[in-house]
Chain A
């Protein structure tokens, strides 16, 4: 569910990041209120735990492996606000330090995995647990909470992907970012999560929670001491307003916005885009539209090739000589 860079426009990323700022601010405030400063090391360590949890390969029927996010689990274990901060930190480290992608999309990823997933999951869990006062009820709450949490997070991800071709296209009508509209992105993301990823997440969450409850129940978060109605309101507001914000920013971003939307809605096919240039078939220029290096003099092209060629040769040389030195190889076992 991690969104890589270049699939979302920078303006989308900016909107999602901005939407997270109030969430982070409130989370920090809540954490400071509910817990003393001795919880600062705990946030870091829980972030490490969240990070490592995402690294676990989980066996799937059929032999392959998958991954879980564990956002709801962490929310149940340490509270949703602390979970928000811990998952945020884990995502930051993944993106910026491990270079796995998602630096610009950081805001969006946090919105999906550090906000929607833990909060929704936690509140569904709490809702069920408070109404079914049995142990079974608690576990059902956990299962449904984590399942719902990750699926709604996946839905949000799909929406963020899907509105890209709607809002951001080149003058030739090509989508600049993710080319798959809502009609594609929503089923593509939600179906695997409903059928597979959500189930894994639910099982994993319940199993780990059960273990901890049995072994060390005192470490589990007791529950917010204050009423959380206000937070509910904030969450509802954010959830509704963010898409509006996205749309607003999108259409404001270029004169081409409204025209293209019209095109797509009326003249387009099921996939939503049939750019003008493509109608005449496959031609080389159309394959790489700007290849004429528009705007740069020819000499720039020569310099570029020379620089690229030299750099590549140096890189290959370095790699080969290091392979020769390293005959014993490195054993990761």
Chain B
């Protein structure tokens, strides 16, 4: 095929296109549209729109990035990670030994330093913020003589939040949800979970655009902020119902019969082995330090 051989051929004379029916006369422009608007906006407190937008944006971004991440070479099976993270949370919560909590914090820092910078920043951001709030909440107790709580609970909060976030940043979420199958969670729950995550994105996008539309038209003082927000939330709900119907139709067309089969092929790797050994060491340490 040689594109240079493209030839232009003259089509036989086409009949002239029908005259388009005359559109109704455009009404004359109202005078105010023809004049420049001399408008100076009043101040109003509508930070809530931007805050909501930023909040939803970060959620959507989080869901999207975790999905696009590729699985690293030496990855540990998600089921192990979920199980041991939970176990770690329980041990940290029970433990009354500062030594144990310190060891776990160091362990988590070591794990953190193997992750990407963006993830590290995000994880530490949440951990520090939560720890700070915990510190503030416990300050009254500390000032009245209880210094144990403010140290231990703050440290534990830092530890737990970091541990869960490491799990959620280093594992694909669909791997986490399918890992729940090992915990006797019925398949149907896992289906609902997966659907929810997907629709947080879709409904979230919808909400985001609505919030943006609200912001763009918030050109002055809005005396009915609650009405606007509830209009957005209400429309979201109605939209979500329509999405649900659409989704069910699609599922039916593909043979959905109420059963959702979660695939769980399982291969024990060296990484799994190493991970489990470390976890066992932690458990032993927990028991050992808890004896006192």
Give the B-binding residues of A (Cβ under 8 A): 4-7, 9-10, 13, 37-49, 51-53, 55-59, 63, 65, 77, 85, 89-90, 92-93, 95-101, 103-104, 170, 172, 174-180, 203-204, 207-208, 210-212, 215-216, 219, 271, 273-275, 278, 286-291, 293-296, 300, 304, 307-308, 310-312, 314-315, 318-319, 321-322, 332
Contact = CB atoms under 8 A, between A and B. Distances in A.
Interface of B is mostly: helix
Contact of A99 (B126, B193, B198): B126
Nearest to A277: B148
A170 B96 contact: yes
A45 B196 contact: yes
Contacts of B243: 41, 45
Interface in B211-270: 225-227, 229-231, 233-238, 240-241, 243-245, 247-248, 251-252, 256, 258
Interface string B80-106: 000000100110111011110011011
Interface stretch (B5-13, B31-39, B159-167): B159-167
A133 to B, nearest CB: 24
A5 to B, nearest CB: 5
A32 to B, nearest CB: 9
Nearest to B185: A92
A177 B144 contact: no
B113 A47 contact: no
B151 A287 contact: yes
Given A6-B156, A104-B89, A211-B230, A295 B97 contact: yes
Contact of B199 (A45, A55, A100): A45
Contacts of B192: 40, 43-44, 47, 85, 89
B112 interface: yes
Contact of B200 (A51, A57, A92, A312): A51
A49 B52 CA distance: 14
How large, as a class, is the contact surface on chain B? 35 or more
Given A10-B93, A179-B141, 12 more contacts: A9-B94, A48-B204, A51-B196, A56-B52, A57-B52, A59-B47, A65-B47, A93-B196, A99-B161, A204-B229, A311-B113, A319-B121
For B130, B165, B240, the residue with the greatest tally of chain A CB atoms inside 10 Å of its CB is: B240
Contact of A321 (B57, B117, B196, B199): B117
A294 B97 contact: yes
Interface stretch (B22-30, B274-282, B284-292): B284-292
A180 B118 contact: no
